[in-house]
């Protein structure tokens, strides 16, 4: 089974990115490009067919393709991102997805960022945030119900997206920052809490039997390894300053062409 990863080059304008919880700091563009190249190499090594889209100076956050779509086996939903500055990122992602999936889209007044959507089998946990509203959630639910998906709202705080606080790291296992999101919402899963000294360690990208994870969260990494998980780390020092993490920089899905 082929796995496709859509990625997008870092924008030369990345220093003008949206910021919600962080103060603006200097982002080394050249270093960000190099780190992103290594991230893409990691996806290739793990067996992905990477479709890399061109960056755009006018789209400072375009590297964070995760927010622009939710891709499921049967359909992909273009999200209408919550930050108006990011809506022009959609056409390139739409064109990249078209060969693979029939497309639906979230419409005004709905907004959704893909970073708020945690998909676990037929369930979508959707964070209500500054980027994802009730209308977006209801539209997601309406679009996906015919395919048998259940959309569940989740409240959280202290971070930009739900997946900054909780991500799936194995079939039945979630990595979670319990101070930001109520673990009770995820009954039935095995939970690995981030180490209390690493509050930003909740974002991990599961790819086949490996977890891609950012450098700098050694204790939480140890917790995952103690659960028998294989963890591969990447340096994201620069995109971290843009409030990005490992899941944000790709859209990963089974590479079936649409009928
Ligand atoms: C933004 O605020 O939209 C970007 N600077 C960061 C987006 C990160 N995306 C994600 O966590 N899915």
* Full domain range(s) for residue 115: 3-254
Please give the Cα distance from 174 to 211 (Å, whole number).
11
In a domain, 53, yes or no: yes
Q: Whose CA is nearest to atom 7 of ligand 1?
A: 244
Which residue among 62, 161, 200, 249 is the active-site one?
161
Q: How confident is the model at residue 256 (pLDDT cuts 50, 70, 90)?
A: confident
| Annotated catalytic residue 200 | no
In a domain, 200, yes or no: yes
For residue 174, give the CATH number of its domain.
3.75.10.10
| Annotated catalytic residue 248 | yes
In a domain, 152, yes or no: yes
Q: What pLDDT score was predicted for residue 259? A: 65
In a domain, 259, yes or no: no
Q: List, for residues 4-43, the tens digit of each pLDDT value.
A: 999 999 999 999 999 999 999 999 999 999 999 999 999 9
In a domain, 46, yes or no: yes
In a domain, 106, yes or no: yes
Q: List, for residues 48-61, the tens digit of each pLDDT value.
A: 999 999 999 999 99
d(CA 111, ligand 1 centre) in Å: 14
User: Is a pLDDT exceeding 80 seen at residue 187?
Assistant: yes
In a domain, 156, yes or no: yes
In a domain, 81, yes or no: yes
Q: List, for residues 135-160, the tens digit of each pLDDT value.
A: 999 999 999 999 999 999 999 999 99
Q: Whose CA is nearest to atom 2 of ligand 1?
A: 18
Q: What pLDDT score was predicted for residue 64? A: 98
If one counts the domains in the chain, the total is 1
């Amino acid at each position: 089974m082929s796995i496709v990863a859509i990625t997008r080059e870092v924008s030369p304008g990345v220093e003008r990115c949206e910021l919600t919880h962080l103060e603006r700091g200097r982002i080394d563009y050249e270093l960000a490009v190099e780190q992103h190249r290594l991230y893409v190499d990691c996806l290739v090594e793990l067996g992905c067919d990477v479709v890399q889209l061109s960056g755009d100076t006018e789209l400072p956050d375009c590297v964070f393709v995760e927010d622009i779509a939710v891709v499921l086996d049967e359909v992909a939903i273009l999200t209408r991102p919550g930050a108006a500055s990011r809506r022009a990122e959609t056409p390139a992602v739409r064109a990249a997805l078209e060969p693979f999936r029939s497309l639906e889209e979230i419409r005004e007044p709905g907004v959704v960022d893909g970073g708020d959507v945690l998909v676990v089998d037929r369930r979508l946990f959707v964070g209500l945030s500054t980027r994802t509203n009730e209308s977006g959630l209801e539209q997601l639910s309406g679009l996906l119900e015919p395919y048998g998906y259940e959309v569940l709202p989740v409240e959280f705080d202290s971070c930009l997206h739900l997946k900054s606080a909780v991500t799936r790291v194995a079939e039945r296992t979630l990595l979670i920052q319990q101070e930001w999101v109520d673990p009770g919402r995820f009954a039935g899963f095995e939970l690995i809490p981030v180490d209390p000294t690493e509050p930003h360690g909740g974002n991990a990208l599961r790819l086949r039997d490996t977890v891609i994870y950012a450098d700098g969260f050694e204790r939480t990494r140890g917790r995952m390894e103690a659960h028998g998980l294989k963890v591969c780390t990447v340096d994201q020092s620069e995109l971290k300053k843009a409030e990005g993490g490992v899941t944000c920089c790709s859209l990963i899905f089974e590479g079936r062409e649409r009928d």
